[in-house]
Structure formats: structure tokens, C-alpha cells
Amino acid sequence: MRIGTIRRSVARILLVTFVLALMLLPTACSESESISGTTVSLAVDRNIKQGDMFAVEVRISTDTACRGAQFELTFDPALMKCDEVVEGAFFKDWAAGNGGSTIVLPATIDNDDGHVSGMGIAVIGAGAGGVKGSGLLCSYHFTALADGTASPTLSGVVVSDVTGTAIPEVEVKN
């Protein structure tokens, strides 16, 4: 087996373990205002034209130190198709500045059903503490299949604090 393949396998196992641990915790997803001071939101230009390439950004704003997040995205497959998912700088920059890195659970794109599942990002190997503030968690890159209004939605949102515990009452803005 090649080194790159082994590294990807180990990274996937580590992130799957992290995500499974988060799934055992109570899911922290709310449509009301955040009590925890943590909000995860979508940023997208909703008016699209056939053939347009565009991004749907998942952004976070938090005053709680955190080290991981997971979420899913649903979209209209007759209107748009997801080409790729790219990690944002929110966790990556903090991890790099604190002697660590991030591990990204590769998202599973299902353009037939309009669903991207399994997206997860976690900080590993960094010193104590976690990242606070605002930033980009990831970008979903799409191609418009028809003219219309893009209305993707987030679900299954979990943001974890420095101990790996789900932050309660995260506000989700679609």
C-alpha cells in the first residue's frame, strides 16, 4: 500500500471516530436564537442561471472555543449539482497557528437526491484551547442546471467545544 493511501485511511478512521463520538452526544441544532453564542449559517447568491458556477458557504460565528463541526446540506437536484466541497479557513488557520492541523471527513455527494452528507472538520494535534470568532467552515461548489432560486438547507449541525462536547443550542440560519 502506498504512504498516501495509508495516510488517507488513517485520517478517515480518526475523523470517523471523532464524528461517531459527536453523534453519541445530544444533537445541538436549533432554529431559534442561540443561547450558546454560536451560529452556523449559509451564504449564497440565491438567484442562479443555468450554467452558472457558484459557491454556497457555511459560516460560523462563536464566542465558545471550539475544535470541530459536522453538518449536512440538502439542495434541489433539478436546479443544481454539487461539484465539490472545500474546507474553509476557520479551523485550519487556527490549527496551523497552534501547532496542529485539521482532519476533514470527506463529504459524500449525492446529486441524484440533492444531498451532501458526512461533512466533518476537526482540529487535531494543536495545543490547548480552541478557535473563537467568525469564519468560513467550508464551501460547496455548484453548477446551476436551470434558472431559479437556490434554497439549500443545513441539517445535522453539531459544533464541538475543546472537550469534544456538543455546544448546546447552536443557531442554524438557512
Task: Report the pLDDT value the prediction gives residue 127, as an integer from 0 to 100.
Answer: 87
CA dihedral 123, 125, 128, 131 (to 10 degrees): -20
Task: Report the pLDDT value the prediction gives residue 40, as an integer from 0 to 100.
Answer: 98
Let me know: does 172 contact 157? Beta carbons within 8 Å. Answer: yes
Task: Report the pLDDT value the prediction gives residue 117, as an integer from 0 to 100.
Answer: 97
Beta strands in 45-174 (DSSP E): 47-48, 53-74, 80-87, 101-105, 108-110, 115-124, 131-144, 148-149, 153-161, 171-173
Task: Report the pLDDT value the prediction gives residue 39, as an integer from 0 to 100.
Answer: 97
Could you please report the per-residue DSSP string of 2-17? -HHHHHHHHHHHHHHH
Task: Report the pLDDT value the prediction gives residue 23, as an integer from 0 to 100.
Answer: 35
Task: Report the pLDDT value the prediction gives residue 113, as an integer from 0 to 100.
Answer: 98
Three-state DSSP at 87 gives strand
Positions of the chain with pLDDT lower than 70, given as ranges: 1-36
Task: Report the pLDDT value the prediction gives residue 35, as an integer from 0 to 100.
Answer: 57
Task: Report the pLDDT value the prediction gives residue 106, as an integer from 0 to 100.
Answer: 87
Domains by residue range for the chain, with CATH: 3-173 (2.60.40.680)
Distance of alpha carbon 149 from alpha carbon 75, whole angstroms: 11
